Amino acid sequence: MASGGGLSPNGAGQRCAPASSLGVSDIDWDAAWLADWRGVGEPIARQVAAGVAQPEALNAAGRVPVRFVPQADLPEGQAYEYFIFATAQVPTREGLHDFFNALCWMHYPLAKKRLNELRAREIARAGVGQVRGPVRDAATVFDENALLIQTSDAVWSALTEHRWIDAFVTLRSEWAHTCLLAFGHAALEKAVQPYKSITVHLWRVPQGVVQADLDAWLAQDLTPDKLARKPFSPLPLLGVPGWWLANEDPAFYADASVFRPCRSPRLAEKPYANPEITPLA
């Protein structure tokens, strides 16, 4: 989902439109979903808000194996992901979308590098077409919209089966032992101005993976075969217990337009068909 000028994400050198015109000064760093990003992100956001060019402020943090460069450095006609793969440079515009993308590089450099490699290989193999293949499509969904989760089998089963009352009300006490870690930068961009239907795509992390090893584990787990199976499970972000005051009332989860029942397998759509993550035209 991304940015500059409302262009298709499938075209060479092109990306999608931003979710909003808000800027880094609008970020609420007290938001629960930003708890693990605040320490790195807030000081950089202050620099950008003070007038430092976003690529310059991001590079000054010195935390990643890539360099952030102005969007104008992306050659006309070259695919964004392939440019990153070939140059270890990330074209970066001013604004929230690319700001959160850069913060994700800082938190998960190995996983981000892996996603870039997978998409670059797919572009080299099949070219940049109007329809992404299953691996490239799933890698893009993950990059834009993933939320990592470590939780009990009971909670995971309830979530994947869309038993929302079980997941969020009956099993509410188990969320104190559930770990959620942000990844998708488009989802975080939307959450700067929260609304009930923001929906992320969960990727389960085994309970035994400690946070210090998470990036390396994730880079190995993001295999073409697994991505092609699209093992995502949707989660309305504001439904997480403790993340939104209104969800303390069980009636919050009765909204079937947001907390949707499971669909028949024959009606299942590709992840990007969900209106929450469809690139803007």
Work out the percent of the chain whose per-residue pLDDT is above 70. Answer: 85
For residue 250, give every residue at least 6 positions away whose Cβ sits within 8 Å of its Cβ, in sequence order, or none.
165, 169
Q: Give the Cα separation of 255 and 31 in Å (integer).
A: 23
User: Could you tell me if 147 and 61 lie in one domain?
Assistant: no
| CB distance 175 to 159 below 8 Å | no
Q: Give the Cα separation of 216 and 134 in Å (integer).
A: 23
According to the model, what pLDDT value does residue 197 have?
97
Residue 14 falls inside a structural domain: no
Lowest-confidence region among 223-232, 239-248, 267-276: 267-276
Strands 146-150 and 89-92: unpaired
User: Could you tell me if 190 and 91 lie in one domain?
Assistant: no
Lowest-confidence region among 41-45, 86-90, 275-279: 275-279
Residue 69 falls inside a structural domain: yes
For the segment 99-110, the average pLDDT, to the nearest whole number, is 98
The beta strand positions in the chain, using DSSP E, are: 67-70, 89-92, 146-150, 179-182, 199-204, 233-236
User: Could you tell me if 106 and 162 lie in one domain?
Assistant: no
Domain that holds residue 75: 19-129
Single residue among 129, 164, 194 that ends a domain in this structure: 129
| CB distance 212 to 181 below 8 Å | no
For residue 85, give every residue at least 6 positions away whose Cβ sits within 8 Å of its Cβ, in sequence order, or none.
116, 117, 119, 120
pTM of the model: 0.86
User: Could you tell me if 25 and 78 lie in one domain?
Assistant: yes
147 phi and psi angles, rounded to 5 deg: -130, 125
Sign of CA dihedral 264, 269, 270, 276: negative
User: Could you tell me if 170 and 92 lie in one domain?
Assistant: no
Kindly indicate the confidence band of residue 125, based on its pLDDT and cuts at 50, 70 and 90: confident
Residue 14 has pLDDT above 60, yes or no: no
According to the model, what pLDDT value does residue 130 have?
58
User: Could you tell me if 155 and 267 lie in one domain?
Assistant: yes
Which stretch, 5-14, 167-176, 258-267, has highest mean pLDDT? 167-176
Strands 89-92 and 67-70: parallel
Give per-residue pLDDT as tens, 145-162: 999 999 999 999 999 999
Q: Which two tokens stand for residue 105?
A: 């590089």
| CB distance 10 to 130 below 8 Å | yes
SS3 call for 36: coil
Residue 281 falls inside a structural domain: no
Kindly indicate the confidence band of residue 264, based on its pLDDT and cuts at 50, 70 and 90: low
Q: Which two tokens stand for residue 114?
A: 């892996």
Single residue among 129, 152, 177 that ends a domain in this structure: 129
Residue 9 falls inside a structural domain: no
Average pLDDT over all residues of the chain: 88
Kindly indicate the confidence band of residue 267, based on its pLDDT and cuts at 50, 70 and 90: very low
User: Could you tell me if 179 and 255 lie in one domain?
Assistant: yes
User: Could you tell me if 229 and 194 lie in one domain?
Assistant: yes
Residue 280 falls inside a structural domain: no
Residue 278 falls inside a structural domain: no
User: Could you tell me if 242 and 125 lie in one domain?
Assistant: no
Domains: count for the chain = 2
User: Could you tell me if 220 and 260 lie in one domain?
Assistant: yes
Q: Give the Cα separation of 240 and 175 in Å (integer).
A: 8
According to the model, what pLDDT value does residue 165 have?
98
For the segment 15-43, the average pLDDT, to the nearest whole number, is 86
Single residue among 109, 129, 149 that ends a domain in this structure: 129
Please name which of 264, 203, 225 lies closest in space to residue 134, comparing C-alpha atoms. Answer: 225
Residue 42 falls inside a structural domain: yes
Residue 111 falls inside a structural domain: yes
User: Could you tell me if 120 and 179 lie in one domain?
Assistant: no
User: Could you tell me if 114 and 54 lie in one domain?
Assistant: yes
Alpha-carbon distance values, 56 to 47, 70, 142 (Å): 9, 9, 27
Residue 27 has pLDDT above 70, yes or no: yes
Give per-residue pLDDT as tens, 158-217: 999 999 999 999 999 999 999 999 999 999 999 999 999 999 999 999 999 999 999 999
